[in-house]
Amino acid sequence: MPAPRTTAAVPPPAPPRAPVPPVPPAAPAARRPRRRTPFRSRLGPYLLLVPAVAAIAVGLGYPLARQFVISFQEYGLAQQFGRPAEWVGLQNYVTLLTDPYVWTVIARSIAFCLLNAGLTMAIGIALAVLMTKVGRAARVTLQVGMLLAWGTPVLATMTVWQWLFDSQYGVVNWLLAEPLGMGSMRFHSWLIEPLSFYGVATVIVVWMSVPFVAFTVYAGLLQVPEECMEAAQLDGANAWQRLWSLAIPMVKPVLFVVALLQVIWDLRVFTQIHVLQRAGAPTRETHLLGTYIYSLAKEFSMAGAMATIMLVITLGLTVFYIRRMLREEQL
Amino acid sequence: MSAAGSAVATARGQRGGQRSARGGRSSLGRRLLGALAVAVSLAWVFPVYWMISSAFLPTNELRTSEPTFFPVDGGLGNFRRVFTDPTFFSSFRISLAVTGLTLAAAILFAFVAALAVSRFRFRGKKSFIVTILVVQMIPAEGLFISQYHVLDNWGLVNAVLGLTIVYVAAILPFTIWMLRGFVSGIPIELEEAAMMDGLSRTGAFFRITFPLLAPGLVASGVYGFLQAWNEYTLALVVMSDPEKQTLPLWLQGLVEGNRATDWGLVMAGATLITVPVIVFFLIVQNRMSSGLVAGAVKG
């Protein structure tokens, strides 16, 4: 964007509340404050941004930049004890990207992410719609249940899920063996097989993520003006049509944000996988991107390169959404 | 609150309209949907119920072939054992310190930044907002090794301050985003009117807008509290010293501590960690998601 003045670049949005700072307290006050404000208000916003920018730069920006630089160096244990790091160009990336195992991890992560994000969105939207359709008592019951699940700390829920799927005394195995008669499941170890490991992880992740989607979409659905719905009803649209052709398109911006967040969150899923691995799963067969980077901790430059790759994948999966959001968002 | 109230009213009106149009046929369908909603609710609540229920049961009752679904003859034994565990209190102190510091810094920084973004027009504003959005996309899980090294260089590993720094940076983008929605939701005309009546710009802001912002500040405060209190990944990397662990690390340590996990103890610990969270959460949840919606829909 070469044009420095944003107002010139974007003609329509000069909203009712007009440009604020250029002429702020001005009118009624006397000369004195008037002469002081232009300078202050030009500098003011930047001063207000300083603490936040500094904190993000120190906590995120600098580690990110450093990691990026080091991903082009040879940096392992020896360098941590003072040996200077050597530049190796793209060698770390080449090593990683020619390793078929890395591609397996990437493919697994993307599959896991899309499956979980898709399931979460589908169930979340369905429950949001359900909330608008049922009576008050049923809705409140549903909301309270969701809130409790949503509010419980991740680690607390992770311990419960470990306990539920415990092979010896877990209630899941009991349920499958006793009332449902699958005797072979009595002492089944859920985490040994990669596929059932991911099944358990999916149940947990979806269970944790659905409440956020359901509540946010529900809040969006409530903002759909009643008049529109009534007009559509008078025109003969049935409930299903009103939902699909009217309400859902109107809450599209919300759906976009939520879906974007789900994809990001599910791609970087770490805690659930890490905890389940520690509960006794073969780590190499169950690594996703996050846990794989964690396992590379000792070889810092490799971890840096892998993290950069993960960042690129994240951007690749979300660039469509981000561009669309930026287009719809008038900044 | 009033927004939520009117939203509920809207929903009610909508349903009323539906009912009158569809007549009796829909009432059976609605009842079925209601039953479905209750069933889903039970499915979602079950793990939480199971955590609390197991927390009251002694170990020998948890280690039987038949699970006990209602802790009728349970007791407080597990909780007593948590409270006599000295590592619980040291972890509690660390968690409290990190959460408090993170909260104070994040709210203050985010508040002034949100002000700048929603009340001023300045060059670079758009790129700042875009940066905030993009920073949120950065997977922290791809950064923690580097964050660890940076903190290590500064001697801040296993230190409350070190963990606070990475938490504040992690929480800020979303907090700014959320508060921006709240600030721009308050019409600037209110401030202008007050300035017409003789208040300075700063005075108008603090007397008029600030009180209206209280719900937004509370909401983002609770968001920050939940993030810092519940966080596991960064704590795992930064606080490797067992003496310095936060509550989530302590809890996971209980599970892994010995071969046969003492599930009653673990569930009591999990319940204790959860209670304050649920309380805060129930208070503010509504505002949090409506804040996100506002930030997403409005400019």
Cα(A152)–Cα(A156) distance, integer angstroms: 7
Query: Are the beta carbons of A288 and A269 closer than 8 angstroms?
Result: yes
Backbone angles phi, psi at B152, to 5 degrees: -65, -40
Cα(A60)–Cα(A68) distance, integer angstroms: 12
Among A62, A131, A315, the residue with its CB nearest the CB of B150 is: A62
Query: Are the beta carbons of B285 and A215 closer than 8 angstroms?
Result: yes
State both tokens at B117. 């973004």
DSSP B244: G
* Average of per-residue pLDDT values in chain B: 81
Query: Are the beta carbons of A300 and A75 closer than 8 angstroms?
Result: yes
Domains of chain B plus CATH, in order, are 22-49 (no CATH), 85-297 (1.10.3720.10)
Cα(A54)–Cα(A109) distance, integer angstroms: 33
Residue with tokens 């959860």: B274
Q: In this complex, do A42 and B172 lie within 8 Å of one another by their Cβ atoms? A: no
Kindly state the average pLDDT of the residues B35-63.
90
- A 10 A CB-CB count for B1 gives 8
- A72 falls in which pLDDT band (50, 70, 90)? very high
All structural domains of chain A with their residue ranges: 100-328
Residue with tokens 């044009």: A3
Query: Are the beta carbons of B252 and A275 closer than 8 angstroms?
Result: yes
A-B Cβ pairs (cutoff 8 Å, strict): 364
Chain A residues whose CB is inside 8 A of the B11 CB are 132, 222
Using CA atoms of B4, B10, B11, B13 in order, give the dihedral in degrees to the nearest 10: 150
CA closest to B154 among chain A residues: A58
Q: Does an H or E element contain A316, and which?
A: helix A300-328
3-class secondary structure, A87:
strand
Query: Are the beta carbons of B98 and B164 closer than 8 angstroms?
Result: yes
pLDDT reported for residue B79: 92
From the list B280, B274, B273, B271, the residue with the least C-alpha distance to B76 is: B271
Cα(A175)–Cα(A173) distance, integer angstroms: 5
- B286 falls in which pLDDT band (50, 70, 90)? low
- B210 falls in which pLDDT band (50, 70, 90)? confident
pLDDT reported for residue B184: 80
- B9 falls in which pLDDT band (50, 70, 90)? very low
Q: Work out the minimum CA distance from A297 to partner chain B, whole angstroms.
A: 6
Q: Mutating which of A77, A120, A155 best tests the B interface, going by the most B Cβ atoms within 10 A? A: A155
Q: How far is CA A323 from CA A117, A267, B105, B133, in A?
A: 19, 19, 31, 11
CA closest to A37 among chain B residues: B201
- Give B 226-245 residues with CB within 8 A of chain A: 226, 229-230, 232-233, 236-237
Q: In this complex, do A154 and B116 lie within 8 Å of one another by their Cβ atoms? A: no
Cα(B76)–Cα(B279) distance, integer angstroms: 21
Paired residues of A74 in beta bridges: A86
Q: Work out the minimum CA distance from B146 to partner chain A, whole angstroms.
A: 5
Q: Mutating which of A160, A168, A301 best tests the B interface, going by the most B Cβ atoms within 10 A? A: A160
Q: Give the residue with greater pLDDT, B7 vs A261.
A: A261
- B245 falls in which pLDDT band (50, 70, 90)? very high
pLDDT reported for residue B94: 94
Kindly state the average pLDDT of the residues B239-246.
89
pLDDT reported for residue A229: 80
pLDDT reported for residue B23: 44
Cα(A237)–Cα(A230) distance, integer angstroms: 10
Q: Give the residue with greater pLDDT, B12 vs A246.
A: A246
- Give B 15-34 residues with CB within 8 A of chain A: 15, 17-18, 21, 30, 33-34
Query: Are the beta carbons of B164 and B224 closer than 8 angstroms?
Result: no
- Confirm or reject contact between B189 and chain A (CB < 8 A): yes
DSSP A243: I
Query: Are the beta carbons of A153 and B246 closer than 8 angstroms?
Result: no
pLDDT reported for residue B120: 81
Scanning chain B, the segments in alpha helix (DSSP H) are 2-22, 25-55, 59-62, 77-83, 86-119, 125-137, 144-153, 160-184, 188-196, 201-204, 210-230, 233-238, 247-257, 263-297
- Confirm or reject contact between A65 and chain B (CB < 8 A): no
Q: In this complex, do A331 and B21 lie within 8 Å of one another by their Cβ atoms? A: no
Q: Mutating which of A142, A164, A173, A210 best tests the B interface, going by the most B Cβ atoms within 10 A? A: A142
Does domain A100-328 fall under CATH 1.10.3720.10? My reply is yes
Q: Angle at Cα A72 formed by Cα A69 and Cα A75, nearest 5°?
A: 90
Query: Are the beta carbons of A173 and A231 closer than 8 angstroms?
Result: no
Q: Give the residue with greater pLDDT, B26 vs B57.
A: B57
State both tokens at B226. 């939940």
- The amino acid that residue B11 corresponds to is A
- Give A 82-121 residues with CB within 8 A of chain B: none
- The amino acid that residue A113 corresponds to is C
C-alpha count within 13 angstroms, C-beta hemisphere, residue B9: 6
Query: Are the beta carbons of A242 and A173 closer than 8 angstroms?
Result: no
- A2 falls in which pLDDT band (50, 70, 90)? very low
Among B38, B64, B274, the residue with its CB nearest the CB of A156 is: B274
pLDDT digits (tens, 9 = 90+) for B14-30: 444 444 444 445 678 88
Chain B residues whose CB is inside 8 A of the A33 CB are 200
- Confirm or reject contact between A315 and chain B (CB < 8 A): yes
Q: Give the residue with greater pLDDT, A103 vs A283.
A: A103
Cα(A292)–Cα(A99) distance, integer angstroms: 13
Q: Give the residue with greater pLDDT, A262 vs A76.
A: A262
pLDDT reported for residue B59: 80
Q: Rounded to an integer, what is the distance from CA A257 to the centroid of its chain?
A: 10
Q: In this complex, do B267 and A159 lie within 8 Å of one another by their Cβ atoms? A: yes
Q: Which residues contact B28 (CB under 8 A, 6 or more apart)?
A: none
Q: Does an H or E element contain A288, and which?
A: none
Q: Mutating which of B40, B177, B263, B278 best tests the A interface, going by the most A Cβ atoms within 10 A? A: B40
State both tokens at B259. 């071969």
Q: Work out the minimum CA distance from B169 to partner chain A, whole angstroms.
A: 5
Q: Where in chain A does DSSP place strands (E)?
A: 73-74, 86-87
